[in-house]
Amino acid sequence: MPASNLLQPVRFEQDDARARGRAHGELWRPQIHELAELRVALCLERAGYRDREALERVAAAHLPVLAAEEPALHEELLGIAEGADLSPERVLVLNHYTDLRDIPGAAGPQRDAGEPDGCTAIYLYGEHGAVLGQTWDMHATAAPFVRVMHLLPPGGVEVLCLTLTGCLGLAGLGQHGVAVTINNLNSTDARVGLVWPALVRSMLAASDARAAYERLLAAPLSSGHHYMIADGRAYFGVECSGELKVLTQVGPKAAHLHTNHCFDPVLRGRERLVPGTTSFARLDMATTLYAQQRPRDVDGLWALLGSHDGYPRSICAHVDDLRGDPSASRTCARIAMMPAHGRMRVAPGCSRDDQPLELALDRFVPAAAAGPLH
Ligand SMILES: [Zn+2]
């Protein structure tokens, strides 16, 4: 089966969030069990949890926050757990893995968070408007679990999103043209907070980029991420730690690049750089390639995201090859969105095997049809 078939969008048309989650959980039950087990093991290996019970206690503490902040997405997560026949705590670990690694475990000192993982995200304003894309880099063992969900609730907001089996969503595009990408940041002030894939889904459903930005500002976060939010007319790049949020990038007509370290000086005091991180090398490479290639459209951005210059610390990342370690970081998917057109390009794995899928929203309603760029 061609790898791109993994990313053929799966449609979920339930209005009821619990039923939608249950369908998701039933469809990918064995994969959800496998990925949850992988991530529990990685959390125990890389963070300061004494044992599974300690990890699950911290995971469980996130459920009431999710219920209070995003009741429908809480229902959807419980539905995934029911459908997959797995505990909600395990599904929580699957979703919130990167942040759970940063939260000090019950057993004391944080161990090396390990994985110098990444993601390279790029925004540009080209000949046909805004384009926002990223590589999705994570433990290479996650690659078989990458999927695309096409959510089409008759009474709700349509969303196309990249995800993992059992996960609420990683990045994507909503019916009103709000596109969101993510870079992981490792924070020293991590805490129990809102499960970040639920926040992504909430932002994708927003009426425009500003509303998504305001949702982010109001969210009690758990650990660090950089969020890029664009709707074709507005752009927000926001660096966050567990406790702080700083708008570091604005300007929809500019180009913006980000990897996995903070630009903001205050946030730099809240970040833990993982030894061996490729973040600086990838940002340098992306900046150089951007200046050389001057990408003007989705094809240009796509070529940049697939670059192997500097391999294996390249934008299309292959750190797992370097270390011979299948739990080291690799580009597991690439995504590019054209928010003003309701379109998305997505492909699994390495750009050498490029088999992108071109996807479109069925019910696209452009955000802020009138008004100046801001
Ligand atoms: Zn590659």
How many Cα atoms sit within 13 Å of 334 on the Cβ side?
A: 27
What does the pLDDT read at residue 136?
94
Q: DSSP labels for 293-344?
A: H---SHHHHHHHHT--TTTTSSSS-BHHHHHT-TTSEEEEEEEEEETTTTEE
Q: How many CB atoms are closer than 10 A to CB 5? A: 10
Percentage of the residues of the chain whose pLDDT score is greater than 70: 93
Q: What is the pTM of this model?
A: 0.95
Q: How many CB atoms are closer than 10 A to CB 246? A: 17
Pair 317, 333: CB distance under 8 Å: no
State the distance from the centre of ligand 1 to the C-alpha of 314, rounded, in angstroms.
8
What does the pLDDT read at residue 45?
87
In whole angstroms, what is the distance from residue 128 CA to residue 336 CA?
14
In whole angstroms, what is the distance from residue 231 CA to residue 176 CA?
8
Write the CATH number of the domain with boundaries 121-360. Answer: 3.60.60.10
Q: Where do the structural domains in the chain lie, given as residue ranges?
A: 3-102, 121-360
Tell me which residues of the chain have a pLDDT lower than 70.
1-4, 105-117, 323, 367-374
State the distance from the centre of ligand 1 to the C-alpha of 317, rounded, in angstroms.
6
State the distance from the centre of ligand 1 to the C-alpha of 351, rounded, in angstroms.
5
State the distance from the centre of ligand 1 to the C-alpha of 155, rounded, in angstroms.
40
State the distance from the centre of ligand 1 to the C-alpha of 291, rounded, in angstroms.
21
pLDDT in tens, 285-324: 999 999 999 999 999 999 999 999 999 889 999 988 876 7
What does the pLDDT read at residue 303?
96
Pair 289, 259: CB distance under 8 Å: no
As a dihedral over the C-alpha atoms of residue 15, residue 21, residue 27, residue 29, rounded to 10 degrees, the angle is: -170
Residues 6+ apart with CB under 8 A from 142: 35, 38, 164, 332
State the distance from the centre of ligand 1 to the C-alpha of 1, rounded, in angstroms.
19
